[in-house]
Amino acid sequence: MGIKVQFDVLKDTVKKAFLNMGMPEDKAEICAQIHCESSADGVESHGLNRIPRFATYVGKGWVDLKAEPELVGRKGAAENYDGHLGIGITNAIFCGDRAVELAKEHGIGIVALRNTTHWMRGGTYAWRMAYKDMIGLCWISAESCMPMWGSDKISVGNNPLCLAVPRKKGPIVVDMSFSQYAYGKLGVYRLAGKQLPYPGGYDKDGNLTTDPGAIEETMRVLPIGYWKGSALAIALDMAAAMISNGKCGSDLDEEARGSCTGCSQVFIAIDPYLFGDVESLQAMLDRRVEAADNAHPVDERHPVKCPGEGTLERRKKSMAEGVNVDEQIWSQIQGLAAGAMDVEDLASK
Amino acid sequence: MGIKVQFDVLKDTVKKAFLNMGMPEDKAEICAQIHCESSADGVESHGLNRIPRFATYVGKGWVDLKAEPELVGRKGAAENYDGHLGIGITNAIFCGDRAVELAKEHGIGIVALRNTTHWMRGGTYAWRMAYKDMIGLCWISAESCMPMWGSDKISVGNNPLCLAVPRKKGPIVVDMSFSQYAYGKLGVYRLAGKQLPYPGGYDKDGNLTTDPGAIEETMRVLPIGYWKGSALAIALDMAAAMISNGKCGSDLDEEARGSCTGCSQVFIAIDPYLFGDVESLQAMLDRRVEAADNAHPVDERHPVKCPGEGTLERRKKSMAEGVNVDEQIWSQIQGLAAGAMDVEDLASK
């Protein structure tokens, strides 16, 4: 069941929950803001819904609430940090911001982060780079959660890739993983007794299916574009591990800790105004978005949109009407905030 | 019908064809090599098969055989070139190589090319960067050839994206467009009277179909991952046009010239050995590839492979046994090489 909670109430409660876990005040402020923004943007799966799991990870020692990213190498427009298993959000924000600073100086900047933890919603860092007037590109190397194409066993991460273009009228932002549906989404459809709109994986007989429960059973989630998504996911995995001198997906598989624990991430910022003026480049973007949005729709009730446009609409609605929150999750977060339930309680569940 | 032709014979003939079109000797040497390598690697669609179409483009004035890329801007690790509608291959090679040089100096380098022409096989430049010990990333902004998600009319390019990781035992290289199948592939299946292995688009009744002819009729080719591939394609389009101060997809649509005529391209090279030593990073890559390749196969006869591994096998086979060439294409290229058929002949067809 979903209920609506005002953003400020939500953020205040989430921040208290983080403080109760032992998170320093400055990090709790940032993490509360980001988790609540993700839910407000409609990405509940990586916003509020992740907080109980985050608490269990803290309890298991998979996240060090006080660690800071440490510079371990620097050359020209590139920097490398060790995340020391610090908070995924604050580590990633730091590195994304560093990439922006490097891009201001060199035109392009890259920051490779190793040994970090789950960054929650990848789009956070792409949106942030776009709002700093940069083209932002970031991706991760994660543990396996989907089969390589041709395999029936999980063997590659769905390694999210995010790309943001800084448009004044609203950034164009893609935040995608390489599995057609997240496991969370499969569960949502199954609980609602619904079929997926498009095939999302294979059943136990090896047939493509829209039955979410049948896919959860086999864990044979489908890479987007079949062989194509599988190929890009494994290449991004290797690229991230290589640049960051960090762990690749199969290293993480061997460690068998929580999702993204010890993973590698890459943040690239590109100054888009190096070779053209703001006005004409923004006019080009507006022209492009207009042409795309005016593409003849399959269904007149659902006009075409560029990625990010829907997010801004949802954000506005959430700010006006309250943020949608799952009732059970909200109750758990309130428990964490009240100190009635600590991370060990959650970890033991 | 496919026949086998020895690489050297092929290259010699193709070079003569290019010289007959009026291409300078140095460029003809490079272009012949690249087109033949693409066919040898099994990418005939963007190798030999493109030469007749290239000839017609030359005839129509859509490619300037003598133009050179011109530096129009430079800042730090970033450079911008105007391709002056020169040969797509030589323009792209120049820019990819410049990105590598910039990366050697700054750790990462980006070259944005505008007003260029079809680069043929995008993977060419990613493979090349990998063989220069760089992680290579490149993509383009092309004219529309598939519908945006939610539209039933072509409204975005399939904007190929290539990513290469420099592995000593064989680079890992992805070269993918964002449509599930190229139009060329649909034609191949239709002519063979075969259904596609997976749905590739929509028929006239709006149903997903594996019937290649039904998709050719509607032109509703499917983006990979449905909404996901559509989103990444449009964002890549805007990013390329913005960085290069060049044309976006809808600008190219308005000009209605040949495929990729006047398009924008981006080349990013990243030094992978900035923060780790060659030996340990290569060991990590080998470990990752081994884990992926050992993933339990759906069918024991078809072991899992990482992207690029199959290409190297095909290349080796082509070099030993001859390169597979379509008989009709070969006859056209021989005609061009003998001077019996000039570009105006082809353009008038």
In this prediction, residue B349 carries a pLDDT of 47
Query: CB–CB of B225 and A135 under 8 A?
Result: no
Query: Topology of B2-179+223-275+324-347 in CATH?
Result: Ribosomal Protein S8; Chain: A, domain 1 (3.30.1370)
Query: CB–CB of B242 and A285 under 8 A?
Result: yes
In this prediction, residue A343 carries a pLDDT of 57
B168: distance to nearest CA of chain A, Å? 13
Name the percent of chain A lying above pLDDT 70: 97
* pLDDT 10s digits, A129-143: 999 999 999 999 999
Taking the C-alpha atoms of residue B186 and residue B182, their distance in angstroms, rounded to an integer, is: 7
* pLDDT 10s digits, B175-223: 999 999 988 889 889 989 999 999 999 999 999 999 999 999 999 999 9
In this prediction, residue A308 carries a pLDDT of 97
What is the rounded average pLDDT of the residues A15-25?
A: 97
Residues of chain A contacting residue B150, judged by C-beta atoms under 8 Å apart? 295, 297-299, 302-305
* Partner-chain residue, chosen from A107, A280, A281, that has the shortest CB–CB distance to B75: A107
Query: CB–CB of A291 and B253 under 8 A?
Result: yes
Q: How many CA atoms lie within 13 A of A248 on its CB side?
A: 25
What is the rounded average pLDDT of the residues A36-41?
A: 97
Residues of B noted as catalytic: 46
Backbone angles phi, psi at A260, to 5 degrees: 70, 10
* 8 Å CB contact between B281 and B156: no
Contact status of B298 with chain A (Cβ, < 8 Å): yes
Burial of A339 (0-12, 13-18, 19+ CB in 10 A): exposed
Q: Which two tokens stand for residue B222?
A: 């499917």
Residues with Cβ within 8 Å of residue A313, at least 6 apart in sequence: none
Residues of chain A contacting residue B149, judged by C-beta atoms under 8 Å apart? 304
Query: CB–CB of A239 and B271 under 8 A?
Result: no
Q: Which two tokens stand for residue B194?
A: 């075969």
Low-confidence stretches of chain B (pLDDT < 70) are 340-349
* pLDDT 10s digits, A203-243: 999 999 999 999 999 999 999 999 999 999 999 999 999 99
Please give the radius of gyration of chain B, using alpha carbons only, rounded to the nearest integer. Answer: 20
The full set of domain ranges for chain A reads 2-179+223-275+324-347, 183-222, 278-307
User: Residue B166: closest CA among chain A residues belongs to which residue?
Assistant: A239
Q: How many CA atoms lie within 13 A of A46 on its CB side?
A: 20
Which CATH superfamily, name and number, covers A183-222?
Hypothetical oxidoreductase yiak; domain 3 (3.30.60.50)
Query: CB–CB of B150 and A174 under 8 A?
Result: no
Query: CB–CB of A78 and B248 under 8 A?
Result: no
Taking the C-alpha atoms of residue B122 and residue B50, their distance in angstroms, rounded to an integer, is: 13
Contact status of A268 with chain B (Cβ, < 8 Å): yes
In this prediction, residue A182 carries a pLDDT of 87
* Partner-chain residue, chosen from B163, B250, B298, that has the shortest CB–CB distance to A206: B298
Query: CB–CB of B243 and A288 under 8 A?
Result: no
Residue B187: Cβ within 10 Å count: 15
Contact status of A272 with chain B (Cβ, < 8 Å): yes
Using pLDDT thresholds of 50, 70 and 90, give the confidence band for residue A339: confident
- In 3D space, the residue among A168, A8, A7, A160 whose CA is nearest the CA of residue A92 turns out to be A160
Interface of B with A in 130-149 (CB under 8 A): 135, 147-149
Residues of chain B contacting residue A76, judged by C-beta atoms under 8 Å apart? 77, 105-108
What is this structure's pTM? 0.97
Task: List the single best residue of A144, A159, A173, A228 to mutate versus B (max B Cβ within 10 A).
Answer: A228
Task: List the single best residue of A135, A141, A230, A243 to mutate versus B (max B Cβ within 10 A).
Answer: A243
B59: distance to nearest CA of chain A, Å? 30
Q: Which two tokens stand for residue B300?
A: 């024991």
* pLDDT 10s digits, A159-190: 999 999 999 999 999 999 999 998 888 988 99
Query: CB–CB of B284 and A241 under 8 A?
Result: yes
Residues of chain B contacting residue A163, judged by C-beta atoms under 8 Å apart? 232, 235-236, 239
* Partner-chain residue, chosen from A152, A244, A292, that has the shortest CB–CB distance to B275: A244
Contact status of B303 with chain A (Cβ, < 8 Å): yes
User: Is residue A349 over pLDDT 70?
Assistant: no
Burial of B126 (0-12, 13-18, 19+ CB in 10 A): buried
User: Residue A309: closest CA among chain B residues belongs to which residue?
Assistant: B231
* pLDDT 10s digits, A278-317: 999 999 999 999 999 999 999 999 999 999 999 999 999 9
User: Residue A200: closest CA among chain B residues belongs to which residue?
Assistant: B225
Query: CB–CB of B149 and A304 under 8 A?
Result: yes
Contact status of B234 with chain A (Cβ, < 8 Å): yes
Dmax over Cα atoms in chain A, in whole Å?
Answer: 57
ipTM, interface predicted TM-score of the complex = 0.97
